[in-house]
A and B are shown apart, each in its own frame.
Chain A
Amino acid sequence: SQELEQSPQSLIVQEGKNLTINCTSSKTLYGLYWYKQKYGEGLIFLMMLQKGGEEKSHEKITAKLDEKKQQSSLHITASQPSHAGIYLCGADLYGNEKLTFGTGTRLTIIP
């Protein structure tokens, strides 16, 4: 099984609707990163959450870290076509300076 599970694997949302993507770890999270990837492009850094129940927002995207549940959620409010892409979470699961990435969530925004 994957050490960082993302759900759902894919999501189709009507423009203007809200959505949530989850990232669940099998191990203690030493920080959690969210990246976005568009097809044929590299990963764009969105946000980084430190251990401790942190919450951050950037424009219409909010990310939270629940250390008890070993889970992070990414919430998009009033989705737009520009939000379409693949969202990846990454974490240092072993405290060994290496990021393990989740399986990814493919987000499609329809009119």
Chain B
Amino acid sequence: DAGVIQSPRHEVTEMGQEVTLRCKPISGHDYLFWYRQTMMRGLELLIYFNNNVPIDDSGMPEDRFSAKMPNASFSTLKIQPSEPRDSAVYFCASSLAPVGALYEQYFGPGTRLTVT
């Protein structure tokens, strides 16, 4: 299996522009998670899906952030408009079972976003 695939790996954009991050989870995994990692706040959960349905988006910082999962093999995280404080590494992870089942999450390589 190729693992969790994220694209692009690096994104540099100007403030105010729309940014779209993409994720392909591991086939057969019903759970998909989006995380953000910064030096100040560490690794934070933004939103997670179960069977393509958003379950908890309480970690999404603002209305500028939105996430979709149109099918089991694809998810996007969109920021519109982007701001310099959105600069971070964004990770996608997938899992076969919920956290409560004590099953590991598999992480993608991340997208390093820089907003100037």
Least Cβ–Cβ distance between A104 and chain B, in angstroms: 6
Instruction: Collect the chain A residues with CB atoms within 8 Å of residue B44's CB.
Output: 101
A6→B68 CA distance, assembly (Å): 33
Q: Please pick, from A41, A44, A92, the residue contacting B99 in the complex, using a CB distance under 8 A.
A: A92
A96→B44 CA distance, assembly (Å): 15
The count of residues in chain A whose C-beta lies closer than 8 Å to any C-beta of chain B is: 26
Interface residues of chain A, those whose CB is within 8 Å of chain B, are 2, 30-31, 33, 35, 40-45, 48, 50, 88, 90, 92, 95-104
Instruction: Collect the chain B residues with CB atoms within 8 Å of residue A104's CB.
Output: 42-43
Q: Tell me if B102 and A48 are in contact (CB < 8 A).
A: yes
Q: Please pick, from A42, A95, A98, A101, the residue contacting B42 in the complex, using a CB distance under 8 A.
A: A101
A22→B25 CA distance, assembly (Å): 31
Q: Tell me if B42 and A43 are in contact (CB < 8 A).
A: no
Q: Tell me if A42 and B4 are in contact (CB < 8 A).
A: yes
B50's nearest neighbour on chain A, judged by CB, is A97
With A98-B99, A99-B99 in contact, is A45–B104 under 8 Å at CB? Answer: yes
Which of A88, A92, A99, A101 counts the most chain B CB atoms within 10 A?
A: A99
Q: Tell me if A41 and B110 are in contact (CB < 8 A).
A: yes
The 7 closest A-B pairs by CB, nearest first: A42-B107, A101-B43, A43-B107, A45-B104, A97-B99, A31-B102, A42-B109
Q: Taking chain A's interface residues, is the majority helix, strand, or loop, or is none over half, making it mixed?
A: loop
Instruction: Count how many pairs of residues, one from A and one from B, have CB atoms less than 8 Å apart in the complex.
Output: 58
A96→B69 CA distance, assembly (Å): 21
The count of residues in chain B whose C-beta lies closer than 8 Å to any C-beta of chain A is: 24
A88's nearest neighbour on chain B, judged by CB, is B43
Using A42-B108, A98-B48 as known contacts, list a sample of 8 further A-B pairs with CB atoms less than 8 Å apart, ordered by residue number in A: A35-B107, A40-B112, A42-B110, A44-B107, A92-B99, A92-B100, A97-B100, A98-B59
Instruction: Collect the chain A residues with CB atoms within 8 Å of residue B102's CB.
Output: 31, 48, 50
Q: Tell me if A97 and B55 are in contact (CB < 8 A).
A: yes
A20→B33 CA distance, assembly (Å): 29
Q: What are some 9 contacts across the A-B interface (CB < 8 A)?
A: A30-B100, A33-B105, A41-B110, A43-B43, A45-B104, A96-B56, A97-B48, A98-B59, A101-B43
